[in-house]
Amino acid sequence: MSRRDDRQEAFIQALGLTKRVTERGRRGKPTCADCFFHRKQLCALDLDSPCSTFRPYSPEGLQPPRQPALLVRTA
């Protein structure tokens, strides 16, 4: 590591910033690394589990959340 890299690493640690985990979670159990906002570096949170704004990442881009089926009541 060069001296510049050492100074940059020290600066990042002094600010309290951490390297984000980019490994995907197991199937069926989403993690923060599976989130669209995390993968595009738009998330400011550093959590171990997904937050309430979690949206799954897909190569096609941001997908709207699934809406529940509308049930028609008959009176």
Domain count, the chain: 1
Identify whether 70 is part of a domain.
Answer: no
Identify whether 67 is part of a domain.
Answer: no
Sequence-distant (≥ 6) Cβ neighbours of residue 34 within 8 angstroms: 24, 25, 50, 54, 56, 57
Among 12-26, 28-42, 61-75, the range scoring the smallest mean pLDDT is: 12-26
* Spatial distance between the Cα atoms of 4 and 73, rounded to a whole number of angstroms: 67
Identify whether 40 is part of a domain.
Answer: yes
Query: Tens digits of per-residue pLDDT, 13-28?
Result: 666 555 555 555 556 7
Identify whether 38 is part of a domain.
Answer: yes
Identify whether 9 is part of a domain.
Answer: no
Closest CA to 50 of 28, 62, 34: 34
Give pTM, 2 decimals.
0.51
The domain containing residue 39 runs over which residues?
A: 19-62
Q: What is the pLDDT of residue 11?
A: 72
| Nearest-5° Cα angle at 49, 66 to 15 | 125
